[in-house]
């Protein structure tokens, strides 16, 4: 089944049987009080709640149409053996790892596999048939089996929602473009980190260079 999604810079036709919804890092760490972003002073709770409610609608609409729902989840082993170490820029720049160093008494609270911080928001929990891909870098394609999963299901079109728009969402979307997928950013289904212009910058980058940009309302109406 094919549907045409209103988008910028032009509408895009999706083959529903070859489309997946990528839910990026909708974890307590990035969208809840007490999580990594909150501790680091980066949480906009109002925005996060709005994104959660929007994503819930998009996920439900996608499941109804049989679109494969794939969650990405950021996480580190307790011993940080998958974090890269001091010779990796990831070790110095990723906020969960920074929080560990700044709050050593709580170091296992921040994005540690199995922790509350690492878990996906209760309102968006994966359902049977969904897929969860564990990652330890901003891009969901790096050091993961995401590409193999998408190839297995003959996926060609990717819808993107999640947090943060300008970090993990954009990093994964750019890599999707390089892997020859057709990426579509659901703009209000994503929340940025930092000033509002970072959201607008990613929207511009995607619509002008790396793919297409739609809204949750336009996507859900088209899927109906």
- CATH code assigned at 138: 3.40.50.850
pLDDT digits over 17-30, tens only?
999 999 999 999 99
* DSSP E strands, the chain: 2-5, 12-15, 19-24, 68-74, 131-135, 157-163, 182-191, 212-214
160 assigned to some structural domain: yes
Is 90 a domain residue?
no
Per residue in 61-90, pLDDT (tens digit) is 999 999 999 999 999 999 999 999 999 999
DSSP-derived 3-state class of residue 119: coil
User: How many percent of the chain have pLDDT more than 90?
Assistant: 97
Of 135, 175, 188, 190, which residue is the catalytic one? 135
Residue 95 lies in a domain: no
At 216, list the tokens. Answer: 């949750």
Q: Is residue 180 part of a domain?
A: yes
Residue 220, both tokens: 């859900």
pTM greater than the 0.95 cutoff: yes
With 90 as the cut, is the pLDDT of residue 34 above it? yes
In a domain, 102, yes or no: no
* Cβ 63 vs Cβ 69: under 8 Å: yes
The residue from 31, 117, 168, 175 that is catalytic is: 168
168 is catalytic: yes
pLDDT 10s digits, 147-173: 999 999 999 999 999 999 999 999 999
The answer to whether residue 219 sits within a structural domain is yes
DSSP string, 12-43: EEEEGGGEEEEEE--BHHHHSTTSHHHHTT--
Q: Which domain holds residue 135?
A: 2-32+44-76+121-223
Looking at the domain assignment, is residue 136 inside a domain? yes
Mean pLDDT in residue range 108-115: 95
**Cβ contacts of residue 6 below 8 Å, gap of 6+?**
214, 218, 222
Q: Are 162 and 25 in contact (CB under 8 A)?
A: yes
How many domains does the chain contain in total? 1
């Amino acid at each position: 089944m094919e549907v045409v999604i209103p988008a910028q810079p032009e509408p895009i036709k999706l083959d529903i049987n070859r489309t997946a919804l990528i839910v990026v890092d909708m974890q307590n760490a990035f969208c809840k009080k007490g999580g990594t972003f909150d501790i680091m002073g980066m949480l906009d709770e109002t925005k996060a709640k709005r994104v959660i409610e929007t994503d819930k609608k998009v996920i439900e609409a996608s499941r109804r149409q049989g679109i494969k729902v794939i969650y990405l989840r950021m996480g580190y082993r307790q011993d940080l053996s998958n974090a890269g170490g001091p010779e990796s820029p990831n070790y110095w720049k990723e906020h969960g790892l920074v929080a560990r160093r700044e709050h050593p008494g709580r170091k296992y609270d921040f994005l540690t596999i199995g922790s509350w911080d690492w878990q996906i928001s209760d309102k968006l929990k994966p359902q049977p048939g969904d897929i969860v891909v564990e990652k330890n870098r901003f891009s969901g394609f790096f050091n993961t089996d995401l590409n193999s999963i998408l190839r297995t299901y003959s996926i060609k079109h990717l819808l993107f929602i999640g947090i943060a728009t300008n970090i993990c969402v954009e990093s994964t979307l750019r890599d999707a473009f390089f892997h020859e997928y057709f990426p579509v950013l659901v703009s209000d289904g994503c929340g940025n980190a930092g000033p509002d212009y970072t959201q607008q910058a990613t929207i511009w980058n995607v619509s002008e260079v790396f793919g297409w940009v739609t809204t949750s309302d336009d996507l859900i109406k088209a899927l109906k």
